[in-house]
Each structure stands twice: as C-alpha cells, then as structure tokens.
Chains A and B, each alone.
Chain A
Amino acid sequence: MVVYSKRIMISNIINAIISTTEMKFQQTFVSFLEVVCKYNGLKFEKVQPANGDSKNDGWIPEKNIYFGMYSPNDPNISQIKSINKKLYDDLGGLCEHVYVKGEWGKEINKFYLIVNTHDKDFPADPDRMIDQTIKEIKEKYKKEFVVEVIIAKDIKHFLLDSDIELIEKISNYLDVYNIEQEFSIPEVVNFIDEYMKYLATKKIEIPSTDYSRIKVEDKIKLNNLDERHDKILNLIDASDKIDKYLEFVNSEGIDMSNYENLKNFIIQKYTHLTINYSGNELYDKLLDELIYDSMMDSRAVILEAIVVNIFIKCDIFQKE
C-alpha cells in the first residue's frame, strides 16, 4: 500500500463523509464506524433502516453504545432547533425501545448523535436547548448515561491522533480515491482567499525562478517520485483547472497577488524541506506541511492541484 500524506488522506475522508446527505451519509458514516470498531477489536452492528430501525442507526452491543445520524438534504436546515428535535425524537425513541420494550441491549451506556453540518461549525445554542433535552429525557426514564452531539467534520481531531494504518483502512473502505474530486474556478478563488488568512502572519520570501522546464515524466524519474507517478498524472486534469483559474484571473484583471503569495509560500516550504527530505517522502511531507488544521475541512484536492501545477511548471523539484 502506497502511503500518501496523512493530512491529505484525512481531508479526503472528511470530504467523502460530509459531502453526502440523508441515507448516503448514514451509510458512509456507518462504514467509517465499522472500520474504526474492527481496528479496535470491537464489533459494530449495522441496523438496516428499512421497515423502521427502532431508533437505532447502529450500535456496539458489547458496550451498549448507540449512534444516531442526521444529515438533511438542505444544508440550511441544520439549525439548532431541527438538531434538537432530531435528538429528542431519536434519543427519546431509543429509550422507549430499550427501557420500556426491553429491546436492543436493554441498557444505554452512551448515545452519540452525529450531525452533518457540512463545512459549518455547530450552530449556536444560547438557550442550551440540547442540554435541556438530554436532561428531560434522562429524568423521564430515570436513567443516567452519556449523550454527545458531534458534528461530522470534527472527526478530524480523532483521525489526527490515529495511526496511519487505521487512516489507510478507512480511506480504502470508503474508496475515497475513486470519489469524483471535481472543483470549480469559484471554489479555487474561495480556497485561495481562505488560505490567505492562514498566511496572514507568515513571512513569505519571493523565490528566484527561471523559464526552463522539462517533461513531467522525466521530472518524475529525475526526482525519484516513481511511487507518486500515478497520483501526479491523475492530477493533470486538476492542474489544468488551475491554469483555467489563472486564465480567468488574468483575463478579468483580478488581483493575482493572493495566488502569487500562495505559490511563493509553497516554493519556500519546498526549499526548506529539501534539506532533510527527497523523493516520495519530500512530496508527502510538503503536502502535510501545507495543510493546516482547519483547512482539512475543505477541498485538499485544490491544494494538491496547485502543487502539481507548480511542479509541472518546474518551480519545485529538480529539473536537471
């Protein structure tokens, strides 16, 4: 198994999950939980939602840990009131099945409601509706258990602390590399604008460059990037999109300084890393260092496309 940048893999996993809605989200997140549980020696039991799921979207029987999932089709619906209602319906319904009807494990130790807010943070809850709902349900059934409402994109914190082996298993199981990674020019514009906020406090030097270039295949061989050969070639179309973005910026007369800053930062980072790294490791380390924590929620493929674009233009990696 070829090991790519850990942060790129995490970003791809998060995008694979949060880009889905409704049933597809549930299926994808359940697949994620299956891999994580198996890796940790636990059995995760899937529950088919057809014919009613008895308010259980999946659980770990040996630990009486239950999961509920919520990802409405309209991302604007994910407001605190609708999340609270979902929590009330699912947790209340689950308690009814477990404590009154004696179903499932007959006990709840933990309940997690996974909410897909896509790329947004958890909505504000100044009236503490979620806490009130949890308290109300616990009092109604006179039971004590742990309840957490988690937004899907925050699994990145869990993944950052996880072994690379687990991340690879999740990537393969979710088939993240075969998910269409299309992006538009406005997305590139937004991505670069966002990245500028991260670069705001960083000192960026202007590198010296020249106009000489060599063919991509030759460059891959010269820099011992054979294990990244397919990945780089797969990103040629994405790199062309960066050229289209540059065409758009230049023909519209839009200020190019944001892109210039990002490009110079990438070249600077690459130059610094060449002291200790080379070949495939250098390529992966470069991507790892370019992705910052909150960037992992967005389209890392755009960053990779920009890196490959600069690689093709021979401003990073050797050309002789």
Chain B
Amino acid sequence: MILPNKYIEPSQSLFYLGAITLNIIERKRISLVDLWIGFKKNTKEKISYTRFLQTLVYLYGTGIISYTKEGEIYNENIKN
C-alpha cells in the first residue's frame, strides 16, 4: 500500500501521494479543506477522500507532517 509494486500503480501508492501532498503544503500552514482541493487538482487519477486521509495518516505516522491547535497542517521538517 505504501510503496508501488506489481499490483499497486505508482500513482496510487501512498509514497507518491505523500510527495504530491508535501508539494502542496510547501512551507505554509494549510487547512484540511484547502489541502484536499489542492490534492484533487494535482492528482491525475481520481483518488478518493479515504485514500487522501490514508496519505495524511502515513505522513503523520512517519513524522513528516503535523498540525496546529487550529487544525492547520504543516510540514514538520520546514517550520515557519
């Protein structure tokens, strides 16, 4: 599920979707809704909201992203 293999297209793996997500977040703090809108625009294939949430869980679980008390998401490795 995380890495692509013969049965998971690269564009559907969490690894790839995570990279897309980080590209959208960049150096800013972003709300969940704005991030989801940006995610949909930047993924060529139709990825469900469930899959998007799984991507966030993967990024959060690996310590790559975090969130503020107000619910804004940011790149843990690039703090403002």
Contacts and interface: CB of A to CB of B under 8 A. Distances in A.
Question: B5, B6, B13, B51: which has the most chain A beta carbons within 10 Å?
Answer: B6
Contacts of A252: 48, 50-51
A213 B6 CA distance: 10
Given A251-B12, A252-B51, A209 B6 contact: yes
Among the interface residues A209, A251, A252, which one has the most CB atoms of the partner chain B within 10 A? A251
B1, B47, B50, most chain A CB atoms within 10 A: B1
B6 A253 contact: no
Interface string A261-292: 00100000000000000000000000000000
B7 A251 contact: no
A126 B9 CA distance: 52
A253 B50 CA distance: 6
Contact of B54 (A213, A253, A313): A253
A253 B51 contact: yes
Contact of B51 (A213, A250, A259): A250
B41 interface: no
Contacts of B53: 253
A178 to B, nearest CB: 31
Contacts of B47: 251
A252 to B, nearest CB: 5
Interface residues of A, number: 15
Contacts of B69: none
Size class of the B contact interface (CB-based, 8 Å) = 10 to 19
A247 B47 CA distance: 10
Interface string B1-36: 100011111001100000000000000000000000
Interface in A191-223: 209, 211, 213
Contacts of A189: none
B20 to A, nearest CB: 14
Given A247-B12, A252-B51, A315 B6 contact: yes
A246 B48 contact: no
A259 B8 CA distance: 12
A312 to B, nearest CB: 9
B8 A246 contact: yes
A259 B7 contact: yes
A251 B51 contact: yes
Interface string B46-71: 11101101100000000000000000
A252 B51 CA distance: 6
A2 interface: no
A256 interface: yes
B60 to A, nearest CB: 15
A265 to B, nearest CB: 15
B7 A253 contact: no
Nearest to B13: A250
A251 B6 contact: no
A72 to B, nearest CB: 39
A263 B8 CA distance: 13
A315 B6 CA distance: 9
B21 to A, nearest CB: 14
B12 A250 contact: yes
A180 B13 CA distance: 34
A252 B1 CA distance: 12
A2 B65 CA distance: 59
Given A251-B12, A251-B51, A253-B53, A246 B7 contact: yes
Interface of B: 1, 5-9, 12-13, 45-48, 50-51, 53-54
Given A247-B9, A253-B54, 12 more contacts: A213-B6, A246-B8, A246-B9, A247-B12, A247-B45, A251-B46, A251-B48, A252-B50, A252-B51, A256-B8, A263-B7, A313-B6
